[in-house]
Amino acid sequence: MEYKASHILVKDKALAGELLKKVKQGANFESLAREFSTCPSKSSGGDLGWFGPGKMVGAFEEAVKRLGHGSVSDIVSTQFGYHIIKKTGQR
């Protein structure tokens, strides 16, 4: 199984909470990723492309597996910071 996802990565949990609230209120995920994410994927609206098992850190991968297509996660904490993840595909 492969997954496709986008994310917004920030260092501050409070900022992650604010961004998650905006996404849930209908703000454009990709625009927020471009503006706030600290990941190089921000230039593509947070798109991480396709990835298989073991390619992402455990907490991130588990969160993506649990999401339905098009769904957005709660805040996921990893050693890189705080992620808001949007699942965009599964094959």
Q: How many CA atoms lie within 13 A of 89 on its CB side?
A: 11
pLDDT of residue 36: 98
> Rounded to two decimals, what is the model's pTM?
0.96
Could you report the per-residue pLDDT of 42-91, keeping only the tens digit for each?
Answer: 999 999 999 999 999 999 999 999 999 999 999 999 999 999 999 999 99
Spell out the CATH class of 3-90. alpha beta
Domain ranges across the chain? 3-90
pLDDT of residue 34: 98
pLDDT of residue 56: 97
CA distance 42 to 89: 18
pLDDT of residue 14: 98
pLDDT of residue 69: 95
